[in-house]
Amino acid sequence: MIPQQWTPPCNNQCTLKYAALIQIPWRVFCKKGCDSDGETWEDCLGECDEICYKDPVLKDQQWSAYIDRSPGAASYSEECFRACVAGCGYKFDLPSEKVNQVHSKRPSKPPTVEKPAPPAVESRPPHESGHTDDIPSISA
């Protein structure tokens, strides 16, 4: 058996698509799409939503979303979703055009509003004498 045959074809396609060292996390999420339990394309997409976006772990406790194992940052969640959907596409042998048209059902976060810059701090003129009153003059 040659190494290419050690893993299912879907996983091999994920390895080829996300071959760069910095793409390893996305390769993992692509393979999660390949290995999803969903019987249909829609089920697989639903699993990608669950995997890639933070949800509260405890019911009615929004703060518990912080302990969810999803990627976290919005851009990482979107990249995770794209990779997972690619895996679903490989699993169900769908053309890349259809896979690229898929978007998460999660609402995208509104753009962050920049905070106004704090007012400039007024600087004090330097003390004219050689020493300052608030620092003790102790010689070593």
Q: Model pTM greater than 0.75? A: no
Structure tokens at 43: 């089920």
Asked if residues 81 and 49 have their Cβ atoms less than 8 Å apart, the reply is yes
Q: In this structure, what token pair is assigned to residue 10? A: 């879907």
pLDDT of residue 50: 86
CA distance from start to end of the chain: 77
> What is the tens place of the pLDDT at every residue in 45-70?
999 988 888 766 567 766 665 665 56
* Dist. CA 50–CA 20, nearest whole Å: 26
Q: Are 28 and 21 in contact (CB under 8 A)?
A: no
Q: Which amino acid is at 60?
A: D
CA 119 from centroid of its chain's CA atoms: 34
- 66-124 confidence digits (pLDDT tens): 665 566 677 888 999 999 999 999 999 999 899 999 988 776 554 444 555 555 556 56
Neighbours of 89 (CB within 10 A): 25
Q: How far apart are CA 44 and CA 32, in angstroms?
A: 10
pLDDT tens-place string over residues 98-111: 999 998 877 655 44
